Chains A and B, each alone.
Chain A
């Protein structure tokens, strides 16, 4: 079946602009996760959703970052007033739910470059 889909695959924008990143999880997956990966670094957890609720937003780096999920499906990650340090690959993952050992499945990410 279809995997996790993220768009756009690449985004180049100027410092100070807002960007919106989209994630379409695997159908039927109630849990959705956002991570980011900076060049040569490991994955950094940002936020996760169970349904439309985000019980843990502790990984969001600043109040410029926000995320929402609607209809228990699509999620958007928004970065306002982008800074150069926001440049990274933003990865989305989904799993059946967050209460079982079922694995997280990742999309190929959005590569964000801030000029």
Chain B
């Protein structure tokens, strides 16, 4: 799987948009970008994923650059409950260990400030 790079921490004011960046410059053509978050003492929570088009769901938006070497997760109106560690993961195609194992890096600790 391609490696990802995320800033270790970020702050965001409550009610503002939180924009979390991720670099994945070695991503290959059949690899998807996934975002998860983990709130203390809970299991990782799936947020969104995409291949090359921008994606939006009820939780967030995912913007993937045209060259697919980076992406941004956008939480449009951050609340205190969005305080968590956010993980950007690249997962491979349909064969080999990279196609099913999720490799979590250190992620970005997002703190939403009142």
Contact = CB atoms under 8 A, between A and B. Distances in A.
A103 B49 contact: yes
B25 interface: no
Contacts, number: 50
Range, interface on chain A: 20 to 34
A49 B49 CA distance: 22
B13 to A, nearest CB: 28
Interface in A74-91: 91
Interface residues of B, number: 21
A103 B104 contact: no
B104 A31 contact: no
Contacts of B44: 43, 91, 93, 106
Q: 6 closest A-B pairs (Cβ-Cβ)?
A: A106-B43, A45-B101, A103-B46, A108-B43, A43-B104, A42-B104
Contact of A48 (B32, B100, B104, B105): B100
